[in-house]
A and B are shown apart, each in its own frame.
Chain A
Amino acid sequence: MRELVLTRHNELIDPLVRVWGWEIPVYLFLGGWVAGMMILVGYFLLRGRNREDTCVCSVLPGTSVVLLSLGMGALFLDLEHKLYVWRLYTTFEVTSPMSWGAWILLLVYPALAAAFALRPPGILRDLFPAVDRLSRRLDTPVGVRGIAAANLVLGISLGIYTGILLSALGARPFWNSAILGPLFLVSGLSSAAAFGHMVARHHEERELLARSDNVFLAIELFVVALFLVGLLSSSQAHVAAARLVLGGPFTASFWVLVVGAGIVIPLMIQLLAVTHRIAHTRVGPLLVMAGGLALRFVIVAVGQVSHWAKV
């Protein structure tokens, strides 16, 4: 038997760590979603789909800028020393994933803006002739390939970074898995494909996005399994951390919200849709996105509770 009593009761720390509330999961979700959309934009641009009037790649960059700004807003709300936020950009700390993220985000905006400028809304072209000129200048084979490559590379970096941000914090065994980067990346891709599936106007594109979303969801399921197996085959602290979702207090939220409602059910719905047994509806994509958000909430919450044996 072991009984450990501390005279300490620091806010946000005792009795259990809860330094991050809703802001960080929302930021991680929106960051991952935008990362997925950048990868899709890169893919569609490389395929030359931007020539099509109805291509979803003309909707995603603008939406991404809005979502990313909301995510950064949530991150800002979480900061306790807000007036000093500019300190992020007075240094680059190579060992700090948060510092990498701050600089990656700074590059993401121009890449998205360039993709947006390839097909700006007509009203913007009419109002601002400079936008029209910029659009024409960028819309060359080299320009489009460059923008596609930038979106692909930065999208992958952003998606992986949202996972590394947590996995680098070795004090919390539940987060301490290199699989978290790929997990958040593939989850971001599935949210992006789900969103594309909802807003695509072209039938072929909708089918393609639904099919690719199914692939992403299947991969996500596999990566979730790998993540748990990785924890279970590691140290005692990691095994104890995995047990938090395998019989522990977070079992229901993890298996019902994240895996069940967020991956398995939408995968089944979308499999039926792409095999033309049911019509495409918004139910599947909405569940995928809600599952992506639940994944971040659950992982952030479980990680804060997990700890090393206090010896």
Chain B
Amino acid sequence: MARYGMVIDTRKCVGCTDCVVACKTENQVPEGLNRDWIADDLTGSFPTVHLEIRTERCNHCDNPPCVACCPTGASHVDPFGAIVLVTPEMCIGCKACLASCPYDARFVHPDGYADKCTFCIHRVKDGLDPACVSVCPTHCMTFGDLDDPNSEVNRQLASRPPHALMPAAGTEPRIFYLT
């Protein structure tokens, strides 16, 4: 059983937002809402400054609080690739999952249910990469099975020290950033 994740090379990401546009188009994300976004993270003081540009989305956490808190089971870990998903017909729109996600990765779809990145599961089932990964002009994202020691994601993870977002929140994210 696969456990899908992503490795993102922040030295390659230029923040062009192609991934954002690709996601909105592929998944028909309603106007004004985003399943993925760009973070410009500037640290330090001049002249010693460091800029990390990241493409961010739901981290498909291994310990997802959004799934634990859902009162109806609408938020669940799909057996296919352990991808964290929402079943709209089971969601009551209580917003507990929005409050439980430390990354603020979820939003309420105008139709009333909780929505977020699905890792483009419909494409992955067809053997394709998620839309954001496939359009990136700098190839900064790699998608694959974290449980497969020979996968490209694991080769990337071994190449440079990776970091995940907000490790202290204890959600065990499956998106890793190479600095």
A residues in contact (CB < 8 Å) with B: 1-14, 17, 19-20, 78-82, 84-85, 87-88, 90-91, 93, 95-99, 101-102, 168-172, 235, 237, 304, 307-311
Contacts and interface: CB of A to CB of B under 8 A. Distances in A.
Interface string B78-107: 000000000011111111101111101011
Interface stretch (B37-45, B127-135, B142-150, B154-162): B37-45
Contact of B42 (A2, A10, A304, A308): A2
Nearest to B113: A81
Contacts of A169: 65, 69, 96, 99-100
B68 interface: yes
Given A87-B90, A99-B71, A10 B39 contact: no
Nearest to B53: A5
B169 interface: yes
Most chain A CB atoms below 10 A, which of B69, B72, B74, B93? B72
Contacts of B32: 9-11
Nearest to B107: A10
B108 interface: yes
A259 B91 CA distance: 37
A307 B102 contact: yes
Given A81-B112, A171-B169, 4 more contacts: A3-B42, A9-B32, A169-B69, A170-B65
A88 B93 CA distance: 11
B90 to A, nearest CB: 5
B44 A19 contact: no
B99 A88 contact: no
Contacts of A5: 39-40, 42
Interface residues of B, number: 49
Nearest to A89: B72
Given A5-B39, A169-B65, A169-B69, A98 B90 contact: no
B165 interface: yes
B95 A20 contact: yes
B170 interface: yes
Contacts of B10: none
Contact of B71 (A102, A235, A304): A102
Given A6-B39, A11-B33, A84-B92, A171 B65 contact: yes
Contact of B92 (A87, A101, A304, A309): A87
18 contacts: A1-B43, A3-B42, A6-B39, A7-B39, A9-B34, A11-B32, A13-B106, A13-B107, A80-B108, A80-B112, A82-B112, A84-B72, A95-B68, A97-B69, A99-B72, A168-B69, A171-B169, A308-B166
B4 to A, nearest CB: 22
A307 B112 CA distance: 25
A93 B72 contact: yes
B102 A84 contact: no
B93 A82 contact: yes
- In the A-B complex, list the 4 residue pairs whose CB atoms are closest, starting with the nearest: A80-B93, A81-B93, A8-B37, A81-B112
Given A11-B108, A171-B101, A80 B72 contact: no
B44 A1 contact: yes
Given A80-B112, A81-B113, A308-B169, A13 B45 contact: no
Contact of A2 (B17, B41, B92): B41
A307 B105 CA distance: 13
Most chain B CB atoms below 10 A, which of A11, A99, A169, A235? A169
Contacts of A12: 95, 98, 107-108
B37 A6 contact: yes
Given A1-B43, A168-B69, A7 B34 contact: yes
Contacts of B38: 6-7
Nearest to A172: B99
Nearest to A175: B99
A101 B104 CA distance: 24
Contacts of B44: 1
B98 A93 contact: no
B20 interface: yes
B168 A96 contact: no
Contact of B99 (A84, A304, A308, A310): A304
B69 A309 contact: no
A19 B99 contact: yes
